[in-house]
Amino acid sequence: MQHDSKPPVSIPSQRHLFEIPDGVTYLNCAYMSPQLRSVRAAGEAALDLKARPWRVKPEDFFTGSEALRGLFARLVGADAEGVALVPSVSYGTAVAAANLRVREGQTLVVLAEEFPSNFYPWRELARRARAHVVTVARPEDGDWTRAVLAEVDSRCALVAVPHCHWTDGAFVDLVRVGARAREVGAALVVDGTQSVGALPLDVAAVRPDFLVSAGYKWLMGPYSLGYLYVAPQHREGVPLEQNWLLRQGSEEFSRLVDYRDTYQPGARRFDVGERSNFQLVPMAAAALEQLLAWGVEDLQRTLRGLTDRIARGATALRLEVSPEANRVGHLIGLRRRGGYAPVVARRLAEQDIHVSVRGDNLRVAPHLYNTPEDADRLLAALEPLL
């Protein structure tokens, strides 16, 4: 989250920074972000380095990943000591599941129709602990926050929620949910994949036990590199791997056979093996640098203008959208009772209009390469397909 005092502004079109051909209307950042030109350049330079491995120095195993750790920390208002580099959301939730205590009979609260990586770990943890998964039903009024709070009581050991629902962008107030979780002694695990980078999130306000995010969607980076924030009380926990880089003193390559019991400080013990990835780390860093330059608050404000326009047009087509107060600005679901025919997304793609169907929703996820004309083009193409 950005912590400056400047008033929010709308960001002009940034399409020139991406490799998107004319005529392509890409409204599917929630699926995968297009690649920034700066990210491609960083990747090409990284490939050139790998072609000449004699230029890779021992300190290079640490400097790039440490810089990336710091960039993500700035994005979410965290300390870099609390950031681990992970390959996926499932890896991050597995770390959380390995380090949270759940007693027999307790409850683990999740959303209905949650993304699998934020469901399967908790179902398995509940099975091992003889606990119970409580699934919060989709609220008719779109207020997920109220619905979650109603399920968090003295029996609750864990609340595992996103900042917004991945199918339609319905908002979850993490500050309120986190406060309630702490009140009853429950842990809070947040999947930020569909929000971090596009929606302001401040870990000092939310105070999650764990926050995990894939890096290839709203964080604009490459596939297979993501981020895990770990709260201070969990940083002495058990890592999933016993990787040499995680141990104290691993910077001294000549002494790696002097085995150590102590780990690197902070959340580094939870890093994935080969976290120094010389190809992906520079690309991810270039992406986060661009997000920080734009400013997440300004980005959210800009994208809200597009999704509000889409919401008005969808309502005119008799599709359902969540009330403005209960949805984020960067992601919107156009809900049709009974869902969409499989042909709809394909027919749109044939016109080079790219969205996703998730459940009963046509999920629309614009970014700064989109314009109001893209929104209008989607609505005009959608009308005859309903």
Kindly report the CATH number assigned to the domain that includes residue 142: 3.40.640.10
Task: Judge whether 1 lies within some domain.
Answer: no
Task: Judge whether 261 lies within some domain.
Answer: yes
SS3 letters across 235-256? CCCCCCCCCHHHECCCCCHHHC
In three-state secondary structure terms, 362 is strand
Residues 96 and 245 in one domain: yes
Task: Judge whether 6 lies within some domain.
Answer: no
Q: How far is CA 132 from the centre of its chain?
A: 26
Report the pLDDT value the prediction gives residue 9, as an integer from 0 to 100: 83
Task: Judge whether 185 lies within some domain.
Answer: yes
Residue 364 maps to which CATH number? 3.90.1150.10
Residues 230 and 366 in one domain: no
Residues 316 and 241 in one domain: no
Query: What DSSP letter does each residue of 181-224 carry, written as one string?
Result: HHHHT-EEEEE-TTTTTTS---HHHH--SEEEEESSSTT---TT
Residues 233 and 349 in one domain: no
φ/ψ of residue 212, rounded to 5: -125, 145
Total count of domains within the chain: 2
Domain that holds residue 106: 45-292
Residues 111 and 260 in one domain: yes
| 62-119 pLDDT, tens digit each | 999 999 999 999 999 999 999 999 999 999 999 999 999 999 999 999 999 999 999 9
C-beta of residue 33 within 8 angstroms of C-beta of residue 361: no
Residues 50 and 31 in one domain: no
Low-confidence ranges of the chain (pLDDT < 50): 1-4
Q: Answer with the one of 292, 311, 329 that is the final residue of a domain.
A: 292
Helix residue spans in 4-59 (DSSP H): 37-50
Report the pLDDT value the prediction gives residue 6, as an integer from 0 to 100: 61
Report the pLDDT value the prediction gives residue 2, as an integer from 0 to 100: 39
d(CA 338, CA 19): 36
C-beta of residue 346 within 8 angstroms of C-beta of residue 287: no
To the nearest whole number, what is the mean pLDDT of the chain?
96
